[in-house]
């Protein structure tokens, strides 16, 4: 199978490309210099020859505050980009796999969201990602739409200063010995390596549709930070921030935990707990430095 991974130098895209290559798949890695998803002409030029059988889109404008400030740009990348890719996938007979987000929900449910729950995003980022979902679901003949949450991975997240939450906590803990973290926002931390494995397994099926794809379980950012220090053996104190201590510039869901009901229904939920994913991530980092 020929696979084109768009955003192949990003935090998720790097692991996705590696996971497909590990399966012996012919992978074409495309970065921003190779393809511009907001341009239908660029997409057709990049994917019209030597056409892939699977197009994996990991590109997104995901800086929440920037999306709020530049909604037109966010809509172009997060909504029109998937639309253009869906139409190109149809033209060449390819399957489209597109990555979306837990931020399509407002967090008011207070229990894990399933695939059939009604989205209600709170900010421009969530709105534009939901619009991208609608374009994929209404236009693509064959697609996998994958919603995920709170990603972290070994490749730098350039859009967020290069440090994921795990690395930021470790840096601050070692430098300061104490950190304060919000305790009223609940997510499911998910490693990009685990998500990449899941995406490969899903792509090898014909169970097209919408899937939640996160590690199992949930925690607050405060609980996540505590587990990071404990698992890494870093002596640092974590304190729960008071409500409103770190006011967000843009509204965010207080509870955006996802339930992998769809994956379980087809026997393809490969995720372990979020704690085991973190342990694997940290172990790989230690091995790389030894």
d(Cα 44, Cα 138) in Å, to the nearest integer?
20
Q: What is the DSSP secondary-structure string of 159-228? A: GGTT--HHHHHHHHHHHHSEEEE-SS-EE--EEHHHHHHHHHHHHTS---EEEE---BS-EEHHHHHHHH
Instruction: Give the C-alpha distances (Å, rounded to integers) separating 248 from 103, 122, 129, 186, 244.
Output: 15, 12, 20, 15, 8
d(Cα 58, Cα 74) in Å, to the nearest integer?
14
Is 144 in contact with 203 (CB distance < 8 Å)? yes
Query: Tokens at residue 12, please?
Result: 């998720």
Query: Tokens at residue 258, please?
Result: 């996802």
Local structure of residue 10 (DSSP, 8 states): S
Query: Tokens at residue 80, please?
Result: 């029109």
Residues classed as catalytic? 125
Query: Tokens at residue 243, please?
Result: 């409500």
């Amino acid at each position: 199978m020929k696979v084109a991974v768009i955003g192949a130098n990003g935090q998720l895209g790097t692991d996705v490309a590696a996971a497909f290559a590990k399966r012996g798949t012919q992978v074409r890695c495309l970065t921003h210099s190779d393809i511009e998803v907001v341009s239908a002409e660029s997409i057709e030029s990049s994917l019209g020859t030597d056409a892939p059988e699977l197009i994996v889109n990991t590109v997104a404008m995901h800086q929440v505050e920037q999306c709020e400030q530049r909604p037109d740009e966010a809509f172009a990348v997060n909504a029109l980009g998937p639309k253009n890719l869906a139409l190109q996938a149809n033209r060449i007979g390819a399957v489209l796999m597109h990555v979306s987000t837990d931020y399509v929900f407002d967090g008011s449910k207070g229990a894990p969201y399933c695939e059939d729950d009604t989205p209600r995003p709170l900010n421009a980022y969530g709105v534009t990602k939901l619009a991208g979902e609608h374009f994929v679901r209404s236009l693509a003949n064959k697609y996998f739409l994958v919603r995920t949450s709170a990603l972290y991975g070994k490749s730098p997240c350039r859009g967020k200063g290069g440090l994921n939450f795990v690395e930021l906590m470790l840096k601050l803990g070692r430098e300061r010995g104490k950190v304060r973290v919000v305790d009223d926002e609940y997510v499911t931390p998910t490693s990009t390596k685990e998500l990449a494995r899941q995406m490969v397994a899903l792509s090898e099926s014909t169970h097209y549709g919408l899937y939640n794809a996160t590690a199992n379980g949930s925690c607050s950012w405060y609980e996540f930070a505590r587990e990071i220090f404990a698992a890494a053996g870093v002596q640092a104190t974590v304190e729960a921030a008071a409500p409103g201590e770190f006011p967000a510039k843009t509204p965010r869901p207080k509870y955006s935990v996802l339930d992998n009901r769809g994956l379980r229904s087809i026997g393809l939920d490969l995720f372990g707990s979020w704690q085991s994913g973190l342990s694997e991530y940290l172990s790989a980092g230690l091995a790389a430095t030894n």
